[in-house]
A and B are shown apart, each in its own frame.
Chain A
Amino acid sequence: MNADRGKFLFVALCFVGLALYPLVAGKFGVDLVTKIMVYAVFALSLELLVGSTGLVCFGQAAFFGIGAYATVLLSPPADPAALAWLLPLCMLAAAAYALVVGALSLRTKGVYFIMVTLAFAQMAYYVVHDTPLGGGTDGIYLNAKPVLGSLMDLGKPLVLYGFTLACLALTFGFLALLLRSRFGRALAGIKANEQRMRATGFSTYPYKLAAFTISGGIAGLSGFLFAVKDGFVNPELLSWHLSGAVLIMIILGGLGHLRGALIGAFAFALLQEFFQSEAIFGAFAKHWLLGLGLTIIASVALLPRGLVGVMGQLRERLVGGKGSKESVDA
């Protein structure tokens, strides 16, 4: 009970902090945190699959990219699009592709599943990369950012910040509720032992497919936010490098916890900013990947449960008790 309250408090504090952040931050800070929150939504979408259902998807960038491309392609050439229909359409487009990919790839298991999802993502990548549909390798620009009547203009950085934060909070809340529902319990069961779930009378395939589709839709949402933020899309948004990076974020944060995805996205992006900073590293900042790589290796060696488990590890070290609650914490 106590641990639950602690987790809730931690997440609530994070969101309050994010809401207050623009009061103290400059233009650069707002832009950076907007970007990180977009990645956090993206990481949450993958966490639903990898952490909660045990399905390791290595093609999540396809759904992200489709959401982003749909945003640009469905907007009118010169006028701003209406947010009220553009956003649902983008999420639907990504979810529709996820439905097709999931329906086919969920026939395979384990490493084979990882590779099939990669294959489908690569197909989507080559479609936008090699056809004139989305401007080919050059990508295309979003000329006018979507608006919600006269209420909201996503072209303004602060409005976009608030909107992204709201999307992140809603996604988090939605997933937290979903995982507590009967559906979420079934997913947890599938992750723990799919064979046994089937033996107890669950047809697991529809559950997995539903999770996959929902995850695709959420990834589409993050793609939408990304396209609106940058005003530009290119095929790299669908590349396996991005699928890999988001996987790294959630592993770094700690699998099996929604807040792990949140922490992971922030840690990954901030580490990147830190090692790229010329103020700290001078000319060596060019080789920022070296620092990032070494940090990741160190975190694997020292933090087997991800960043989420740090507190638990510290407590065990200090108290010395092995049977602490954290070890069975979900």
Chain B
Amino acid sequence: MTLATFLIQCLNALQYGLLLFLVASGLTLIFGIMGVINLAHGSFYMIGAYMAYALAPVVASTFDGGFFSTLAVGLVLAVLLGYVLEWAFFSFLYEREHLQQVLMTYGLILVFEELRSLIVGDDVHGVAPPEILAGTLPLGEMMTYPVYRLFISGVCLALALGMYFVFTRTRLGMMIRAGSTNREMVQSLGIDIKFLYRVVFAAGVAIAVLAGMVAAPVSSVYPGMGSTVLIICFVVVVIGGIGSIRGALVAALLIGFVDTFGKVFVPQAAGVLVYVLMALILLWKPDGLFKAG
């Protein structure tokens, strides 16, 4: 392996890891703060990718927008979707057992998949990256690296920093952190916990949808993409420690590197490596790497 290929694999691993972090952060937020096991989270990623594919022509014809306008429209729709979903399906589940939530969100997965099949169909689609980002960067003498992948990493990093800022430096972040520790106490301090939950849920959905939209040009758009990403994201959340954003970041990068380099060095066992890693980490630290609270 030359230095240039090594570098390229590192960049790929970084990009994959950051993307995983983006999806997993929404999952860990919703679980850590609201205590909801949301199996439908992978569906939001799938919805995002399909939005990138299906909204692009609509946005282009109505107000002549390109890729970035599609992103903006998609984000607005995602926030709305999250807000409505929380109100309709989740708001009465908090007092119930976790397994009831599992059942509910499993039902939601089936509904989302079929709606997707009814509206867009079951074909695999490609999404073109925007023209400004379609080029490649030269790496060494022979290799090039697509600019778009760097753009993905950049978006993920910016969002990670943004989330860190919101959590640690703003009043909203303070309320969210407090809400994850003790729901009743926060409520009795006069904070509208229901509204707070709705905001957190909408944000989690929006982040997953954004990840799906941004990833669509590299991963292409296909049925079942949601469930693949869901399982990996659960692995990330659990390795990192449930509810910990920092843990999710570390775990996602770890998995990104293990998976990417596993595919290079031991292709026949690449699928299983991530799970071996998870089992080993949990046997060593049964509560994940960074336990929140």
Contact = CB atoms under 8 A, between A and B. Distances in A.
Interface stretch (B97-105, B143-151, B157-165, B200-208): B97-105
Interface stretch (A16-24, A71-79, A175-183, A290-298): A290-298
| Top 8 A-B pairs, shortest CB-CB distance | A293-B110, A296-B107, A290-B114, A293-B111, A126-B272, A297-B107, A119-B275, A115-B238
Contacts of A40: none
Contacts, number: 117
A111 B241 CA distance: 10
Interface centre among B107, B231, B271, B288, by most chain A C-beta atoms within 10 angstroms, is: B107
Interface residues of A, number: 41
A130 B276 contact: no
Interface stretch (B54-62, B131-139, B179-187, B277-285): B277-285
Interface in A260-294: 287, 289-290, 292-294
Output the residue of B89, B115, B279 with the most chain A CB within 10 A.
B279
Contacts of A123: 272, 275-276, 279
A111 B96 CA distance: 16
Nearest to B271: A126
Contacts of B46: none
28 contacts: A50-B99, A104-B279, A104-B283, A107-B283, A107-B286, A109-B286, A111-B238, A111-B242, A112-B242, A115-B238, A116-B279, A119-B278, A119-B279, A123-B279, A126-B271, A129-B271, A255-B99, A287-B114, A287-B117, A289-B114, A290-B110, A290-B118, A293-B110, A293-B111, A296-B103, A297-B89, A297-B107, A300-B100
Interface string A235-252: 000001100100110011
Contacts of B234: 115, 118
B238 A297 contact: no
Nearest to A127: B272
Given A289-B111, A293-B106, 13 more contacts: A115-B235, A115-B278, A116-B282, A116-B283, A118-B231, A118-B275, A122-B275, A130-B271, A248-B106, A290-B111, A292-B107, A296-B104, A300-B93
B89 to A, nearest CB: 7
B44 to A, nearest CB: 15
A108 B288 CA distance: 10
A290 B110 CA distance: 6
Contacts of A104: 279, 283
B92 interface: yes
A297 B104 CA distance: 5
A173 interface: no
Contacts of A118: 231, 234, 275
B279 A247 contact: no
B275 A56 contact: no
B86 interface: no
A120 interface: yes
A118 B231 CA distance: 9
A311 interface: no
Interface string A119-155: 1101100110111000000000000000000000000
A170 to B, nearest CB: 27
Determine which residue in B96, B104, B114 has the highest number of CB atoms from chain A within 10 A of its CB, and name it. Answer: B114
Contacts of A111: 31, 37, 238, 242
A123 to B, nearest CB: 5
Contacts of A252: 103
Interface of A: 50, 56, 104, 107-109, 111-112, 115-116, 118-120, 122-123, 126-127, 129-131, 240-241, 244, 247-248, 251-252, 255, 287, 289-290, 292-297, 299-301, 304
A97 to B, nearest CB: 14
Contacts of A129: 271
Interface string B209-240: 00000000000000000010001001100100
Contacts of A290: 110-111, 114-115, 118
B269 interface: yes
Nearest to B267: A130
A108 B282 contact: yes
A287 B96 CA distance: 30
Contacts of B92: 301
A247 B102 contact: yes
Contacts of B104: 296-297, 300-301
A287 to B, nearest CB: 5
A287 B112 CA distance: 11
Contacts of A56: 99
B73 to A, nearest CB: 26
Nearest to A124: B272
A50 B98 CA distance: 12
Nearest to B95: A304
B258 interface: no
Nearest to B92: A301
Contacts of A296: 103-104, 106-107, 110
A274 to B, nearest CB: 14
A203 to B, nearest CB: 18
A32 to B, nearest CB: 21
A107 B102 CA distance: 23
A62 B30 CA distance: 29
B103 A248 contact: yes
Contacts of B93: 300
